[in-house]
Copies of this chain bind each other. A is one copy, B any other.
């Protein structure tokens, strides 16, 4: 246990009103959204600036106290939840929530770690600019967490992962030193790319406090297309066709099976099937254009009319206005929530090379059904990035616990398939606590040793988010 003198010293850094102690209502700091991981902590510290974060880590380093950095509590892998020992202090970045600067000439924005993602999007939009990182949890996740998990989402196809959107970082190192890497440069070949080490490191190498982010011109027009088609093979052909025609104007390409659409139609009130007839598979694509207010629609129309002509798709509907576009995307975004009323589910956030998506699905479905004949694969995801949320819902009306007992064997087989197809066991959600053991068994010894060497070099006392990632 951390002695009370040490706890008092931590408290003194941020002050009593910015310290929450065990015994008070800490609930929201102690678990992740699905309640799969719950921990304990003697206190939650809420520093207001980089200097306070630095003093916290100095003290942590001196006293070998474990620190768990925390953003918006939306991570799904338990990466921001302390363990149950009450020996880990939570540092919440929520008070470091200022947008320090927006630079419309330079297309950059500087945000503190605790800024909610949507606030950055909104601030950019007020200047006719786009911050393209977009996730279901954007109303509560924080940019520091997005950076520490290299968040993905629906904008990756054209704009990249969070890694691609970060120009510079300020990070407090485990010894309390502050690294000011707040650069706005597109080119900077001056040694090892340090920012890339911290992006996706899940708080195990230091605490990200401030970031310089890239902004883009706000498209003048965006058109969403909901298309029905018979198979993932057709979806792949459509993807390659649309990419060749639209290039970087193709800003979204989601693959959706009929099952998750049915779940939404059944479990969310007021939702309608966008197409008149039933299709086994769907693609939700988006075309964006900076040319004119009509251009996205014209380009989308040309591409999907031709796709229909070539029989790549069975039917399609184009969004007629911004409200309609949002409706189509809403169907996609509600799929995760719409799974809940269908009972237990076993989820896999995986990626394979884009063109192997159809082959993956073709092999994965029989694996599931061999283990549980009535299980319902609920497949949707960012096909354009090779990323599927390969989720499996329990048999309709079946026993919840009975199905969950199959989770280990189902996941083991799915991940084995992922590895056999040169894929990733975590495309965008990270490792956290959830996949820590899996990581060690799916990476080579050489790769694990390299990661450990980096961890050892930066955090020899293992005080930064111990028990996560490695």
Contacts and interface: CB of A to CB of B under 8 A. Distances in A.
A315 to B, nearest CB: 24
Contacts of A236: 105
- A187, A194, A219, A439 interface centre (most CB from chain B within 10 Å): A187
A424 B190 contact: yes
A106 B385 CA distance: 11
Contacts of A183: 422, 424
Contact of A192 (B156, B435, B451): B451
B200 A191 contact: yes
B454 A184 contact: no
A417 interface: no
A410 interface: no
B179 A447 contact: yes
Q: How large is the interface on A (under 10, 10 to 19, 20 to 34, 35 or more residues)?
A: 35 or more
A138 to B, nearest CB: 18
Given A354-B106, A457-B457, A156 B196 contact: no
A186 B428 CA distance: 10
Interface string A167-194: 0000001000111110111111111111
Contacts of A439: 190-191
A149 interface: yes
A449 B364 CA distance: 47
Contact of A291 (B173, B245, B424): B245
Nearest to A206: B450
B443 A189 contact: no
Contacts of A108: 353
A181 to B, nearest CB: 7
Interface string A368-381: 00000000000000
A451 B191 contact: yes
Contacts of A291: 245-247, 299
Contacts of A299: 291
A347 interface: no
Contact of A196 (B184, B196, B427): B196
A152 B186 CA distance: 10
Nearest to A384: B186
B453 A457 contact: yes
A155 interface: no
Contacts of A443: 190-191
A375 to B, nearest CB: 25
Given A107-B354, A190-B443, 8 more contacts: A103-B353, A103-B355, A108-B353, A161-B187, A184-B353, A192-B201, A193-B196, A246-B291
Interface of A: 103, 105-108, 149-150, 152, 156, 158, 160-161, 163-164, 173, 177-181, 183-194, 196-197, 199-201, 205, 216-217, 219, 236, 240, 243-249, 288-291, 299, 351-356, 382, 385-387, 422-431, 435, 439, 442-444, 446-447, 450-451, 453-454, 456-458, 469-470
The 4 closest A-B pairs by CB, nearest first: A248-B248, A196-B196, A247-B290, A188-B424
8 contacts: A158-B248, A179-B444, A190-B430, A190-B442, A193-B200, A217-B244, A246-B290, A450-B458
